[in-house]
Structure 1
Amino acid sequence: MGNTTLKRSLGLWAIVGLGLGYMTPTIVFDTFGIVSEETNGVVPLAYLTALLVMLFTAISYGKMVQVFPSAGSAYTYTRETMSPHLGFLVGWAALLDYILLPMVNALIIRIYMVSVFPDVPAWIWVVTYVAAVTAINVWSMGKTSNLNSLLVVFELVLIAAFIVLAILKLSQGMGQGTIFTTEPLFHSNVQLSAVLTGATVVCFSFIGFDAVTMYAEEAVDQKTLPRAIMLTVFIGGAIFFVAGYFAQALFPDISGFKVTDDTLPEIGLYVGGQFFQLIFLAGAFAATVASGLASHASVSRLLYVMGRNGVLPKRIFGYVHPKYRTPAFNVILVGFVSLLAIAPSLELISSFINFGALIAFTFVNLSVISYFVFRHKRYKTGKDIFSFLVMPLLGAGLTGILWANLQADALIGGIIWIIVGFVYLLFQTKFFKIKMGDFAFEDADRNTSL
């Protein structure tokens, strides 16, 4: 059991597909009502702001995944460049967003299915969905990737269909009544603080480019990971922006929606009638399943790395199934957590996700500075200063702006989560008298030629 490793089976586009699947492009329609209300009607501007922040951070992820081609993402980078104890706390914070996102997907599935079958108890849909996703993830990462790719293609086709219908509706006078308008990006009632608040809400939509790094030990060629990260950010960001633009042009305000917590079903109805609504829901369902598969797989691998390192009980969390070569116990655990989707609201859970994500993003940027500037003295040329100091500082600073605009519930819940992790850290290290875990990335210092 101890020598069993994760199977290398993922190519560039399979990894990009997992990243896009994780991001769930149709989430722009689910959260449209929430973000439109927060930003006073400039949803695409909120996505553009979040994309700018994500680009700087994505560049930092690309640098670090070349140095540490290991699953674990922000946890691994912070652990190996700063401190094992700090690395654990960053990993613990990242767990909050990674482990809640599969639950968000189960929650969205519940909303979709209840909108179509209101007489069926909601818990049935949650249990059925979670059981299926868990079984596929235990079975094979390759099967997960293949199914994810099919679902992503299906949802992209339906987003394209929405855009075509939106153009027809706009040309017929619906919403702004014109295809080309600046209203979804700027108008007299736009406030910067509101846009930044909206950006903190939509930044969780970009979670997926960072999850790409979780597949470092399953990539056929690890050198493709930086490209995969940037492709995921650009493609996902472009989809969010274009879809958000047409949705906002069609619906300048949200007064016409009956349910603002998840506006996707009503958007499909108003744009294309009941038939398109069903097809749109089918595409959104496919998107959510794709995200569920990818997010379930990612958090299972973060738990695996933390278990392998000994910061979580190794016998359970560091286990790889000898036949399927997947972290089976972790996959099943995430399945049980996802069952909690029977109750909470989408806005509440997404706000908690952002807390963990922003901590991870901040420390990945700081890891670049710690590793290249402080450890390897890469500050003697203008190029090095720009690449390893200025760029990650901009990434960390922009992430900090989003931090300042987090909802109060997210801050309170996140702080409580961090306190629990800190208490666990004290217990495991006997008040810092011993090291946290036993894994170190031995080859890291060889990869400094970026």
Structure 2
Amino acid sequence: MTPTIVFDTFGIVSKETNGVVPLAYITALIVMLFTAISYGKMVKVFPNAGSAYTYTRETMNPHLGFLVGWAALLDYLLLPMVNALIIRIYMVSVFPNVPAWIWVVAYVAAVTGINVWSMGKTSNMNTILVAFELVLIAAFLVLAIVQFSHGMGKGTVITFDPLYHSGVRLSAVLTSATVVCFSFIGFDAVTMYAEEAKDPKIMPKAIMLTVFIGGAVFFIASYFAQALFPDVSHFKNTDDTLPEIGLYVGGTLFKLLFISGAFAATVASGLASHASVSRLLYVMGRNGVLPKRWFGYVHPKFRTPAWNVILVGLVSLLAITPSLELISSFINFAGHGMCKILLEGQMSGKKWEDALSFKCTLVGEYI
């Protein structure tokens, strides 16, 4: 749940909804709250790692749990690789003369080392990175208020237009809500750490707070952005509006800071996804779905599933050569096929399909 993702997808969603991105986020938040309540109920009954795999196994059938676990694993195992690949793209664009594999190896080694060391260190690093993103969003809100005073956009902070105005279609809002729902992907990973929580009873509250806080950040940021940019005519590239929003609101320096926020988001996403999939592997190993001796191992000193963390790191090294499009296709096949079906069925035009499919694939992992 990357706070800055709202600015990446803003142009796409604003165009589709005719300028009511905050309304799409409210709709998505309501849907996500039902899902969060469900996860909260299940984690209270089964305070074990494994998330949907564990719940399906315990309440329905071990064989169904096996299928759910493998379906999730196909998706989760590739997400850390996506983050490594995005880091490679970022760094190569800044340092084109440095071999790409160096950045992948350095990034994967750092993320793997932190995850092996301790869950606390992973959490602390994520807290720092997310705090940096939230500071940038707070700076955006302050700069937006300054721009309002200069007559930019609606010229006022208080306006109902970002929520509803003439020409808004309910079908378009619902379609866009399915897109911004992907901004919430990842909150369920909280349940992966049920066995490492000091008190498992706090897990339902943690899940609900994650969704509420994330939804509030998405809504407030999208409201200010929509009030500043009532339509997409300001943007040269509507597929990813984050750089241009930073430029128009705060100038070149703030644009660079905004982009660095996206970089921090990718690292935070990499840490979280790496930790989550290693724990899913651990539970499947403990249950005998995977070889228990390897996958069910917990390091005696660090108390982390060290072999699984290292295995995920080795898989992530595959990001050295493939393209983002190729890995995205694998993730679409494994876990986000419904997103592609939805886009093909409800969106028209190849450009729309490409842009939204890319966003839907990466949002949870931008995470």
Report the TM-score when normalising by structure 2.
0.82
- Other-structure match for 1:343: 323
**Residues 313, 155 of structure 1: CA spacing in aligned structure 2 closer, same or farther, 3 A cutoff?**
same
Deviation of 1:404 after TM superposition, in Å, equals 8.2
1:140–1:325 contact (8 Å) kept in structure 2: yes
**Residues 176, 127 of structure 1: CA spacing in aligned structure 2 closer, same or farther, 3 A cutoff?**
farther
Task: Please point out which of 249, 273, 292 is paired with 2:227.
Answer: 249
- Other-structure match for 2:14: 36
- Other-structure match for 1:91: 69
Deviation per CA, 1:35-92: give whole Å up to 9, x if none.
Answer: 3344343222221111101111111111111110000011101110011111122223
Task: Please point out which of 101, 115, 129 is paired with 1:137.
Answer: 115
- Other-structure match for 1:20: none
- Other-structure match for 1:200: 178
**Residues 209, 56 of structure 1: CA spacing in aligned structure 2 closer, same or farther, 3 A cutoff?**
same
The reply on whether 1:317 has 2:295 as its aligned counterpart is yes
- Other-structure match for 2:271: 293
- Other-structure match for 1:106: 84
**Residues 197, 70 of structure 1: CA spacing in aligned structure 2 closer, same or farther, 3 A cutoff?**
same
Q: Where in structure 2 are the equivalents of 1:31-430 lying within 5 Å?
A: 31-110=9-88, 112-113=90-91, 116-117=94-95, 124-339=102-317, 343-345=323-325, 352=332, 355=335, 405=342, 407=344
Distance across 1 between alignment mates of 2:262 and 2:165 = 30
Aligned length: 346
2:14–2:232 contact (8 Å) kept in structure 1: yes
Flag structure 2 segments of 5+ consecutive residues without an equivalent: 346-352, 358-367
Distance across 1 between alignment mates of 2:281 and 2:254 = 40
Distance across 1 between alignment mates of 2:166 and 2:85 = 36
**Residues 238, 255 of structure 1: CA spacing in aligned structure 2 closer, same or farther, 3 A cutoff?**
same
Distance across 1 between alignment mates of 2:271 and 2:26 = 27
Deviation per CA, 1:329-358: give whole Å up to 9, x if none.
Answer: 322333344445552259956983994598
Deviation of 1:28 after TM superposition, in Å, equals 1.4
1:351–1:407 contact (8 Å) kept in structure 2: no
Task: Please point out which of 15, 24, 34 is paired with 2:2.
Answer: 24
- The one-letter amino acid of 1:249's match is A
Deviation of 1:186 after TM superposition, in Å, equals 2.4
Secondary structure of 1:288's aligned partner = helix
- Other-structure match for 2:361: none
2:28–2:177 contact (8 Å) kept in structure 1: yes
Distance across 2 between alignment mates of 1:175 and 1:120 = 42
Deviation per CA, 1:212-234: give whole Å up to 9, x if none.
Answer: 11000100111111111111111
% identical equivalent positions: 79
- The one-letter amino acid of 2:35's match is T
Secondary structure of 2:232's aligned partner = coil
Deviation of 1:96 after TM superposition, in Å, equals 4.4
Flag structure 1 segments of 5+ consecutive residues without an equivalent: 1-22, 359-401, 414-450
Distance across 2 between alignment mates of 1:276 and 1:347 = 31
**Residues 249, 280 of structure 1: CA spacing in aligned structure 2 closer, same or farther, 3 A cutoff?**
same
Distance across 2 between alignment mates of 1:182 and 1:281 = 29
Distance across 1 between alignment mates of 2:262 and 2:318 = 21
- The one-letter amino acid of 2:211's match is V
**Residues 191, 114 of structure 1: CA spacing in aligned structure 2 closer, same or farther, 3 A cutoff?**
farther
More off after superposition, 62-71 vs 346-355: 346-355
- The one-letter amino acid of 1:36's match is S
Distance across 2 between alignment mates of 1:186 and 1:110 = 41
**Residues 118, 300 of structure 1: CA spacing in aligned structure 2 closer, same or farther, 3 A cutoff?**
same
